[in-house]
Amino acid sequence: MSATGESRRITVPDITARKGGEPVVMLTAYTAPIAGFLDDHVDMLLVGDSLGMVVYGLPSTLAVTPEMMIAHGSAVMRGSRRACVVIDLPFGAYQESPEQAFRTAARIMAETGCSAVKLEGGIEMAETIRFLVDRGIPVMGHVGLTPQAVNHLGGFRARGRSNAEQEKITADAVAVAEAGAFAMVVEAVVEPLARRITELVPVPTIGIGASVACDGQVLVIDDILGTFADFTPRFVKRYADLGTEIGAAAASYAADVRARRFPGAEHTFAVRKPART
């Protein structure tokens, strides 16, 4: 609570201070209404480039643009009041150079008012992370399975099954932390590796398909609500089946329309009789 009694947004330093403490709760959000529903229950809202798949029906995140991230990020900011909001930098909008990354991140932060940005990559992105952090842009890292590199990695599969992969991902996590990231997502790595990384780095790890030992967890909201039907990753726990309920509601509506049960008299407007003079 603020000095005036109003709730304030959770800040980046608040999240960093949670290392080793109460787990950080994070979910994705892409719209103002969903952000509002989630806001009281989470510490962080991630406007992920996963919106390309779950909102736009794209086969991957690669076609997502900064304009899409800004539109949805602005909506999430309008719909929330306390969660720390982080927005993904989309593919191709930051990898070219630290300067390109700064221009994209600065634009997203200025136009949405979000608290931080997230970018994928390890050792190869350390210079960029440091460049952004030194210029006042908080950065969340992302190591392990990095969806923007899906073509290079050969698909969405768990990482860290070989010793070589484990050493590479560990080095990536250390480099991201040393570059100044305030936290990092650790995605789809074998459990012992996620546990090892969490013990090794001084910033919070946010697991997704990783380990309960991580400093927090994140999932895609559409996955836990059952509204993304393309596939359900192994690491997802469904907490509702709204997809089935939405289908049932649409079927009931369609049946009422076809049987002329809807609209009823209570849903229509009658002509008002003129008042007597």
Mean pLDDT of all residues in 104-125: 98
Q: Is the pLDDT of residue 147 over 60?
A: yes
Pick the catalytic residue from 187, 199, 245, 266.
187
Mean pLDDT of all residues in 3-31: 90
Residues making up the binding site: 49-50, 88, 118, 120
C-alpha–C-alpha distance, residues 87 and 270, integer Å: 48
Give 159's pLDDT tier (boundaries 50, 70, 90): confident
Residues making up the binding site for Mg(2+): 49, 88, 120
Could you confirm whether 245 is annotated as catalytic? no
Give 233's pLDDT tier (boundaries 50, 70, 90): confident
In the block, residue with structure tokens 């090892």: 196
Q: Where are the domains of the chain?
A: 12-241
Rounded to the nearest integer, the mean pLDDT of the chain is: 93
C-alpha–C-alpha distance, residues 233 and 211, integer Å: 15
More confident residue, 53 or 277: 53
pTM of the model: 0.93
Q: Is the pLDDT of residue 3 over 60?
A: no
C-alpha–C-alpha distance, residues 90 and 257, integer Å: 42
CA end-to-end distance (rounded Å), the chain? 58
> 12-241 — its CATH code?
3.20.20.60
More confident residue, 30 or 230: 30
184 conformational bin, left if phi > 0, alpha if psi -120 to 50, beta if neither: beta
C-alpha–C-alpha distance, residues 213 and 188, integer Å: 14
